[in-house]
């Protein structure tokens, strides 16, 4: 089967357009999910699709992954796995220190609380903070 360079170029341009469209739709879904969590009002999907997509950061992926871990205790490795499942791509060979810093930020903001202070090979464990629990409720454990 013979294929010309022009046909190959056309296919590559078409693929790039499809990727851009997919990125817009993924961003729209993320925004809609966030809006549905914040309010139950009527949403105009056309307004969301026409907005320029914002680059998704590791902090965004971590916040999204916390929703998956909401009811459970988790470690840095658990959050890493949940972030990968959410589509996060890590450039660093070992992203765990970066994820630990994100968790520390969430602890400071009161979004997450440490439930177990790990020592040696035993990792710290965390849980998504609820509205009524204290930020450092069990930090001394």
pTM of the model: 0.55
- The CATH number of 58-128, from 1.10.10.10, 1.10.40.60, 1.10.3720.10, 3.20.20.70, is 1.10.10.10
Domain ranges of the chain: 5-50, 58-128
Contacts for 76 with CB less than 8 Å, ≥ 6 apart: 96, 99, 100, 103, 123, 124
pLDDT, tens only, 10-29:
788 888 888 888 988 988 88
String of b and e for 15-26 (b: at least 16 CB within 10 Å)?
eeeeeeeeebee
- Which has the closest alpha carbon to 87: 37, 23, 28? 23
Local confidence pLDDT in tens for the 141 residues of the chain? 677 887 877 788 888 888 888 988 988 888 887 777 665 556 666 766 666 666 778 898 899 888 888 889 999 999 999 898 888 888 889 999 999 999 999 999 999 999 999 999 999 999 998 864 444 444 444
Q: Give backbone dihedrals phi and psi of 41, rounded to 5 degrees, phi first.
A: -85, 170
């Amino acid at each position: 089967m013979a294929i010309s360079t022009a046909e190959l170029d056309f296919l590559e341009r078409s693929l790039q357009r499809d990727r851009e469209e997919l990125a817009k739709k993924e961003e729209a879904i993320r925004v809609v999910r966030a809006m549905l969590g914040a309010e139950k009002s009527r949403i105009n999907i056309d307004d969301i699709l026409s907005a320029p997509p914002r680059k998704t950061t590791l902090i965004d992926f971590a916040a999204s992954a916390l929703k998956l871990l909401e009811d459970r205790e988790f470690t840095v490795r658990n959050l890493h796995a949940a972030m990968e499942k959410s589509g996060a791509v890590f450039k660093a060979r070992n992203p765990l220190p970066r994820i630990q810093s994100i968790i520390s930020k969430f602890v400071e903001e009161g979004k997450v609380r440490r439930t177990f202070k790990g020592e040696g090979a035993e990792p710290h464990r965390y849980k998504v903070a609820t509205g009524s629990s204290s930020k450092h409720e069990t930090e001394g454990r």
